[in-house]
Every structure is written in C-alpha cells, then in structure tokens.
Amino acid sequence: MISWILRLAILTVFSAAAVAQTIPGVDAIVVRSDARTFPNGYVAPARTFTITRPLTGTYVPGVVLVKTRTSYGVHQRARTIDGSSANIVLSTAGMKSVTSAYGADKAMLSADARRYEQVAGLDRLYHVEYSEPIDPFDLCKKLMESPDVEYAVPMTIHKPFFTPNDPRYAQQPWMPLMKMESAWDVSKGSDQTLIAIVDSGTDWQHEDLATKIWMNPGEIANNGKDDDGNGYVDDIRGWDFVGNITVQQAQQGITIPDNDPRVNYPTINGTNGHGTVVAGCAAAATNNAIGVAGTGFNCKILAIKCGADNPAIGSIIQGYTAIRYATDLGADVINCSWGGPGTDPSAQDIIDYANSKGAVVVAASGNDGQNLDTYSQNPANLDGVLTVGATNNSDRVANFSNYGWGVHVYAPGENILSTFPNNNYQALSGTSFSSPLVAGIVGLLKTVHPTWTSEQIREHIRSTSDALPNVSAGNRPLYFGRVNADRALRSNTSWTGADRIPGITLTSTTVAGSGTITSYAPTTVTLELTNLLGDASGVILQIRSRDNSVSISPTGDIQIGNMANAATKQQQLTITLGPNYPWYDTDLELELTIKAGSYLNYALAKVPVRLPSLNSHSVLVQSLGATVTHVDYANDGTLWAASTYFTSPIFIKGTATGGGGIIPSPFNPTCLSAFSTSACMIGGLRNSTPTVGYTTNGSSFSTTGVNAVLASVADIKMYDANTAIAIGNPVSNRIGVARTTNGGSIWSAISNAPLTANANERVINGSACFLDDALWFGTTEERILYSTNRGQTWGGGKLNVNNAVIVSISFRDNNNGVMLYRTSAASNAPYRIASSSNGGATWVADVFDPSTLGITATKVVSSGGNHHLLIGSLGEVFGSDNNGDAWQPVLSKPAGAVVNAKAIKSSFTAVLLCGDLTSLLQYSYSGPNGSKILEVVDAAIDYGSVESGKNRLRSVQVKSTGESAVQIDSVTLTMNGTTPDSAFRITSPLDPIIAPGSTDQLGIRLHATSEGNYSATVKIYSNASTPVQTATLTAVVTPVVSVDEETGVANVIVAPNPASYQVK
C-alpha cells in the first residue's frame, strides 16, 4: 500500500510546548517526550516519534487520540474536553463524543494506581469521535496548533500476523528444539501466572483450553454489575472490545463490546480463529492426554478479544486499550501477535505503563521479511517490548520474518500446530505463533523469578538464547538467537553463581550541551550501560558508527571492567562529524558490541543530529513492497512516480493540491517524463516490443509500438502536452531518435540526425540529460551524443577510458557538464567523475573519486544554474560548482535506498530521490567558490537617551550579498572608555551560516546603570572576503525622571560552535 503527498506540514512537539513549523512537502508529525520516572523507580526514557500520514485502511476514520497537557476528565456522553483549548479545533470537526482513550474508571482507581496513570499521562489521553469528512491526520495537525495539546494522532488499526499452511501437520518438533522438556523439569509454571492473549478472540470452551482460562475472582457472574470496579461489567473470563460488528461499522470505528471473548460467527478461518491458535501456543493444557502442549504449561490465559467476529474485517481494534486492561488485571505477560506500520506515542505510553506495573509485553516482529531497523512496526518497534521473530523447520530465520537489531529473540514459526476453534487443531505459520511460544516461556520464568523486572526478563530471554546456525558474525546482530527455555530457567539462579549470565544493555545516551549534535565541532556523548543480570568480569565495549563520515574516540576495545548485578558504567565518547557528513536532521546510529568472556550482546545507540540548515527534506511516497524506479515533477507541480508494487507495475500520482492516486501501468517502464497532471509518457518493452505509453487524461494510459524507429526506449522528454523526443537503441544501424507532435500516438524518426551506430553499440538507459532544448546521452562505445536544438543538429564526444560504462550525464548549461561512469563492466568496478567544458565534445576523465565522500554513487543531475548534484545510494546529496573537481554536502535527511533522481527546475531548487522512498529535497547551494560578502546594514547603532536603571533592545543587521554562503566564526562585544562592564549584552546570536541574499540580526540589549555616555564596539568575524565587520553602539544614560516602558532582563547567549560570542 502506498501513501503520497506533495505539499503539507510538519509539526514538531516538545514536552513543554507544541511548536508547529510548516515546511512545504513534509507530511509528518514529530513528537518528542521527556523521560518519566514511575513511583516504583521504573524510568521511561526520552523519545522521539515521527508519525507519517497513515495508509488508507490502517486507521479508523472519524476518530483521533488527543493527549492534552492538563487532565480535564470526561463526563458521560461528553462532546468536548471541558476547559481545553483543543475544543476550538474540535468544534469544526462535528464532535460526537469524547471518552478516556485507555483509561479506567477513575473513581475506582486506588491512589497508587492513579499515580502510575498520571505519570504515563493516560489520564490526559482522550478518544475523540467526530462526524465531519476530515481526514484524521489533517485534524491531528490542526490540533497540534493548540497550546494545550501534547500530541494528537489517528487511531490505528492493526493486523494479525499469520500465514496459513498445512492443517494436517500433527507434531510439535519445535518443543525439543527449544528445550521445553528439560525446562518443564525446572518449572511448569503456575496457575497464578497470567498470560494475556490480546488477539482476535479465544475459544475458551475448546477442549484443550477450557481448564486454562483465567476466571475473574472479583466478578460475580451474570449479575449485571461491575463488581471489581474496573469499568467492565461481568468480565468473568476476560473481555470482547469489538463484538460482532459489520464491515461498515468497523470502517466507522463502531464497536459493540461484551463480556464474551469467544468468536461467535458461522465462518471460522485463520483470521478470526487466530487468537485461539495463539492461545494454544502459549498455554494449551499440557500433559492432559488431549491435543497439543503449550509452552506455558500451568500458566493461565487471560482471554481478550480485539477482533471482529466477522473474518472479513480482519483487524485488531483497540489493542492498546486491551493492553491497559490486562495490565490493570495483573497480567504477568501480555502477548501481541499483531501490528501495524509506523510509530505511535500513545501506544508507547501504554507500553511504559505496562512495564511500570511489571507486565512483560511480548510482540511478533511481523511477516513482511523486512529489517525493523528501517521498517517501523508497532508494537514490535516500541521501547520496552520483547520482540520475537520466526525460525523455520531448519532452525534458520524464516524468509517471511521481520528481523533486525530490534528483534530480541527468535522462535519456531513454521507449521506450528495448535488449538483452533470448535475443538479443532491447525498448523499455521507466522511470527504470530513464535511470539506466544516465547510468551509461555516468559510465564515459566516469571513463576521462577517473580520479583524480576520486565527489563530483566527481556534481557534474560535474549542472553540465554542459542545462536542460529550459519549466521555470520557480521549478521549476528540481525539474527541474534533462538530461544532456549531450559537455559532460561536454569541460569541466573543467583547473580554470582556458576550458572550466571550477564545481561548488559544500553540504558541511556546523553549528548553534552543542548542534547543534540548541532555542529561539526567535537561533541561529548555519554553512554550508560547497566548489567541487569549476573555478574560480569572484564566487560569490553566496541563501537562502530553506521556513517563512515563520522569519527569516534576512543576506538577499538574499550575496557569497561567488572560489572556486578545492577551495576552501571558510563563511557564518554567524542564524536566529530566529518566535513562530508550529509545529514542535517537524523539520529546518528552507533552499533555497540558488548562482550564479557563468552557473553555477547549488541545494542544500538541513537545520537540526535540537528545541524543548522535552510534545506527541507520530505517523504512523498512510502510503501512496503514497492520500489519507485522513475520519477518526474511536472510543470504544474504534479508528481509522477513509476513503481513496481510487489510484481505489478503502477504509477503513483500526486498533485500540488493533494489529489492523485494509483494508476495501473501497461508495462514496466525504463523511463518517464511528465508535463502536467494530465500528460505523462513512459517508455519500455511491452511484450518484447519497444513501446511508448502516454496519457492525456491523467488517469489511464494508451500505448503505441515504436519498434520501427527505436529498438528500445532508453529515455524520453516531453516539451509540452503534444511534443516529445525519445531515444533508444539503433534501428538499421542508426541510433534511435524519434519525435511525436500529437501527444504520443504517432512517432517518427528525426531524419536529419546523422547518428550512425557502431557495431553492437547500444544506448544506455538512464544516461540521458535534458536541459531546455539541449540533450545528451551515452552509449556502450563510451560515446556521448548531444544536440542543443531538440535533435535538429548533433555533435559527439568520447570518454577515452577503455571498457568504461557511462552511468549518467549532467549539464548545468550548454557548456559545463559532468559524467558518472564506472571504470569497467565488472560488478565491483569503481565509480569516477569525468567533466566537459565544451558541451560534451571532449571529456576529462577521473577528475574525482566519489568513494572519497564515503558514498556509493548513483547518479549526477542538474536543473541548470551554477552547480551539479551527485546522488549517493542512501540519498546523500553533494554539490559541485567547479565541474566536479570538488564536492560539498548538500544537507538532507536519510532517504532509504535510492536508485534514481531527478533535479527540478521550478520556482524553487529541489531534487527528487526515488527507490525505497520517494522524497523531495528543497535546498540552498551556492558552492564554496563564489564570492562571500558580508555587510553591516547600519554600522552605527544609537540607543538614544535611556534613564538609569532601565534597558533598551536594538539590533545589528547583517546581510550576505555575495554568491556563496558566509560562515560566522565569532562575535566580540567590547565596552569602550568608562562604559560599565556588561552594559551591552548579546541576547540573540547570529545564525552560524548566512545564505546568499539573506539577512540576520544580532540582538543587543543595553542595561543602563550609572549616568554617562556609553559606547561599545561589535566585531563580527567570518570567512567573508572582508573577514571582520564592525559596528559601534552608543547611548546616553540620564537620571531617573519617569517610568520607562522598556524593561526586561537578559543574559549573554553563547551560541554553539562554530560561532562563539565574547563580552570584553
């Protein structure tokens, strides 16, 4: 499924205040929360969440979750959040109801329970339903503008993770693989240990489950009363949060809860029967001569139904409400064999709450075959969750299982035989069934170690796992190990005994100063390690940055020393971003390897980097299962992107006004050119015939074969809705160059193109460059053919590197161009840059080696102007204003794997990147080789007459008037003559970088004390051609004669490097 957008807004939320920042092209909500400490000492760390626009079908229409900064409570049948400024926005949406999102009956909560709820902020989290046809994400962005809203997010729908398989599989070979028999010799669990199954429903009458279902001792059956005061009437065996609803009701967010967690529907399949399968994996009755065994043996099942009875709905609804319900009922383990894409701060609040109460949340990693380090799932990716992947029958990670550094452990997940509704049994595959197998083992462990925290349980399960066969050392962090129940139950009977196993994990990452890296200067970062389990001797830490342009000190084996149970050690690092560091806003990821004897663990430290930049990077298209191969930005602001979604070719279209959609493609294109929202052309092979596809209505494509004039369609360029040129392989020994003048239905060879092909010469797909009326493209004979007048006349040049492979060509005007090429056809041949200053007639090879930038080059592009861009395979962007001799980073954000790029010539300077994502970078680049001129607009600032004891604010304004950006190195402020010390104080510093044409202000406040004439000198040091700019400040301080309206207090502000501010 695919989401796209062109012009929307990003909202950044801080814990103390909501700050909304609108940047064209961005469609995300970023939520940053402070660390929280619960009454029992459990600490939920500070976090950042980026919530992108959810895909259609993954959220409930007409519903949003709103967390306010103040708890207001809700009244029965409330339609407003009484007292909150959020009502101003909500009133425009047709408010239907407001309820507590994940709350319990406040009147029935104990004082202790209320404290936990308040720390998690669950008392401030509201479920809001509305009637107007407003997209929930758009309403959330509006709500974020309210100062009382901490965050607002859509209510997501989650899917169970399963893959049906042979139902006649009748054995359970995974039990001995996980060493269950010997583990049960240690503990068979306890009927006092409660495993909550939050799923589609559990058949509590099943012959192999009936004796294992937890019965609520606080409820009297069928008396119609909420005896235990938890807000759920007669929840004897758990609760059904959804009920028997229709598809239409599900789409509207309507649920019909009841107290029966079974599925009551005539059709039972792997969707609505999913929860019963999961329950059997965790805790089917064992050693009862019936059916199958569950890993949890004697542990009880708390049945919670979050799926509709109707299998056509197939969603998990109110899963996080159910996690809270299970936590409040005292569940020891909560299994979640479901998930959805993205992150959700409200879900994290619930996980924090569960962890603080001692519950271990176990979640399936998902069945997408994706790396969870880059593909986010919740709850699997949330902090404080024990995430479980799947292995196959060969004890290797299953090809469907999600994996990554964030997957704690793996368990069998292929052909897992378990209970199925109506006293049946089925074998199914998926991480859905790996997760409850581990949840049952966690239940055994909780029985043996009832005082262990959820963190200790998670780390112990991981530390005692078995390394998977045929996993290299380099891949071990991605596929850490398969659960070993016997070792889990027999280890760490004491922290100092012979069976001890450490559990050393990263507990915090702290950046000195502002909490983020904000400059290229060395920054101190402190890592905190904690040993949650057995004593460890000789702990060694190794650190590797995932970004090669970053240096870290110290390196190698860092000796941490001995770490007893509960010991904490801090390790300081010095991190320096190199001059080629490409990102302005990201988390720098550090891979930690922790060793102590035979003990091994991995952790991922994330260090926030927020460099000052005028650039703006936004994701336009994001889709699992789709790779965008070609992209263009039409003159009217329409995005056209060609993609293969799994195996089907499609187009994604997005307009500047928010319209568009998905359009079937007649074939997989090799090139694309768009002119408007209605006019687009593609080229490629259809049924082995060179073909051009074209649309004149923006919604469907027609095709025409062009094999008479082109043996392939290597590239295409639309000049208007009717006129286009296509190039391709030779026909009859002539390079294919064709033109259409009727929108694409008829193509003719350009007869006056004297382009005789050499033997076996071919045109290289993707090599072409189009700039105004000029075009260039490369061939397999190292030739570069070009025309400056849409193909009427032609010229040619050659790259004199034998066996070189031209990748792409870029010209910024009719003379100056660069070429990306590989030195040979070998798969590992290095990339190089060549340049031309005479329009492509001659080329200088090997003017630059892109690998020195720490990137794998993908393409060179230019939209004209004074520079070229070099694109890296992860979305790195570098600019050159001297024809490729040197390159500087054009700061961006990580863009996933990038396979293509397109520079945009529009009212703004931008480049489109496509691959795993399609993203837009709007940037400012002036290059280092232009003039750098900084001017002080007014060099004499007169504060006038100021009464003693008062103060007055004025500013020194500076302007960058050259061709290249100016870097501010430092500012000094010196008091002259008898002027009192600190009479003038800097209150607002200059930005470290001042772009060409930009102005900035240095705020300076006068503090008048003794009477007299005041004077000071400001000096601004920079890398401008005149490196020092000076301004003089003057004032006359008079006796007090009246009350001055200008009051206030300010201190000297010292800006981060590279600028420094001094008062003398």
Express each pLDDT in 641-672 by its tens digit.
998 765 678 888 887 666 677 888 999 999 99
- Which position among 158, 274, 630, 868 bears the catalytic label? 274
1025 is an active site residue: no
The mean-pLDDT minimum among 187-196, 313-322, 327-336, 678-687 falls in: 313-322
- In angstroms, the CA 492 to CA 499 distance is 6
Q: Which residue in 27, 123, 199, 535 is the catalytic one?
A: 199
Three-state DSSP at 643 gives strand
C-alpha to C-alpha distance for 20 and 22, rounded to whole angstroms: 7
Sheet holding 3-4, edge to edge: 3-4, 616-622, 917-922, 909-915, 898-905
Band (pLDDT 50/70/90 cuts) for residue 106 is low
Domain end, chosen from 138, 159, 180, is at: 159
Position 907 in a domain:
no
Question: Are 153 and 171 in the same domain?
Answer: no
Q: What is the mean pLDDT of residues 1020-1044?
A: 87
Confidence of residue 623 (pLDDT cuts 50, 70, 90): low
pLDDT at 52: 73
For 135, other C-beta atoms within 10 Å of its C-beta total 16
Q: Note the pLDDT of residue 57.
A: 63
Within a domain: residue 363?
yes
Average pLDDT score over residue span 684-697 = 95
**Of the residues 116, 131, 159, the one at which a domain ends:** 159
What was the pLDDT predicted at 32?
77
Residues 191, 193, 197: CA angle, nearest 5 degrees: 105
Q: Is residue 39 part of a domain?
A: yes
pLDDT digits (tens, 9 = 90+) for 440-477: 999 999 999 999 999 999 999 999 999 999 999 999 99
User: Who has greater pLDDT, 114 or 388?
Assistant: 388
Per-residue confidence (pLDDT) for residue 392, from 0 to 100? 93
Same-domain check for residues 155 and 170:
no
Name the percent of the chain lying above pLDDT 70: 91
Is the pLDDT at 822 greater than 90, yes or no? yes
Question: What SS3 state is found at 102?
Answer: coil
Tell me, yes or no, whether 332 and 472 share the same domain: yes
Q: Is 976 exposed, middle or buried (0-12, 13-18, 19+ CB in 10 A)?
A: middle
CA distances to 102, 568, 752 from 376, rounded to whole Å, are 23, 30, 54
Residue 201 near residue 237, CB atoms below 8 Å: no
Q: Which residues contact 191 (CB under 8 A, 6 or more apart)?
A: 298, 299, 300
Query: When comparing pLDDT for 1040 and 253, which is higher?
Result: 1040
**Is residue 408 among the annotated active site residues?**
no
Please indicate whether residue 1008 or residue 144 has the higher confidence score (pLDDT). 1008
Residues in a beta bridge with 531: 504
**Percentage of the chain surpassing pLDDT 90?**
63
pLDDT in tens, 971-1023: 999 999 999 999 999 999 998 888 887 899 999 999 999 999 999 999 999 99
Q: Is residue 53 very low, low, confident or very high in pLDDT (cuts 50, 70, 90)?
A: confident
Residue 809 to residue 818: CA distance in whole angstroms: 6
Whether 351 contacts 379, CB under 8 Å: yes
Residues 6+ apart with CB under 8 A from 657: none
Domain for residue 444, yes or no? yes
In this structure, is residue 864 part of a structural domain?
no
Same domain (yes/no): 143, 169: no
Residues 33-43 have a mean pLDDT of 83
Q: How many domains does the chain have?
A: 4
Bridge partners of 601, per DSSP, are 594
CATH of the domain at 968: 2.60.40.10
Residue 896 banded pLDDT, cuts 50, 70, 90: confident
User: Do 412 and 517 belong to one domain?
Assistant: no
Which band of pLDDT confidence, cut at 50, 70 and 90, is reported for residue 898? very high
Check residue 42 and give its pLDDT.
83
| CATH number reported for the structural domain that contains residue 215 in this entry | 3.40.50.200
Residues 190 and 333 occupy one common structural domain: yes
Are residues 154 and 166 part of one domain? no
What single-letter DSSP state applies at residue 55? P
Q: Quick one: tokens of 991?
A: 């930005």
pLDDT at 1059: 32
The Cα 364–Cα 326 span in angstroms is: 18
| pLDDT attached to residue 6 | 26
Q: For residue 209, is it within any domain?
A: yes
Q: How confident is the model at residue 303 (pLDDT cuts 50, 70, 90)?
A: very high
Residue 323 domain flag: yes
- Is the domain of 115 the same as that of 198? no
Same domain? 191 vs 326: yes
Helix (H) or strand (E) holding 879: strand 877-880
Q: What is the mean pLDDT of the chain?
A: 87
pLDDT of res. 107: 56
Which residues on adjacent β-strands are paired with residue 774?
A: 771
Q: Is residue 798 part of a domain?
A: no
Q: Which residues pair with 542 in a beta bridge?
A: 593
pLDDT tops 50 at residue 1057: no
Q: Which of 418, 432, 463, 613 is catalytic?
A: 432
> Looking at this protein, which amino acid is placed at residue 534?
G
Mean per-residue pLDDT for 68-73?
Answer: 80
My answer on whether 97 and 12 are in the same domain is yes
Q: What is the pLDDT of residue 11?
A: 24
Same-domain pairing of 601 and 474: no
Q: Print the domain residue range for 1054.
A: 934-1063
Instruction: Measure the CA–CA gap between 549 and 546, rounded to whole angstroms.
Output: 9
930 — pLDDT class (breaks 50, 70, 90): confident
Kindly state whether residues 425 and 295 are assigned to the same domain: yes
Given a cut of 70, whether residue 853 has pLDDT beyond it is: yes
Token duo for residue 307: 């799926």
* Cα separations in angstroms, 1007 against 115, 752, 949, 985: 46, 78, 7, 8
Question: What φ, ψ does residue 37 adopt, rounded to 5°?
Answer: -115, 125
Per-residue confidence (pLDDT) for residue 753, from 0 to 100: 64
Q: Is 449 a catalytic residue?
A: no
Q: Which of 116-130, 375-389, 525-539, 644-658 has the lowest mean pLDDT?
A: 644-658
pLDDT at 1048 over 70: no
Which of 120-134, 225-239, 380-394, 1018-1032 has the least mean pLDDT? 120-134
| Per-residue pLDDT reduced to its tens digit, 408-435 | 999 999 989 999 999 999 999 999 999 9
Name 217's Cβ contacts closer than 8 Å, sequence gap at least 6. none
**Is there a cis peptide before residue 554, judged by omega within 30 degrees of 0?**
yes
* pTM score of the predicted model: 0.76
Least confident of 167-176, 487-496, 829-838, 952-961: 167-176
Specify which of 68-72, 75-79, 109-113, 284-288 reaches the highest per-range mean pLDDT.
284-288
- Domain boundary among the residues 490, 521, 544 is at 490
Top pLDDT among 264 and 859 is at 859
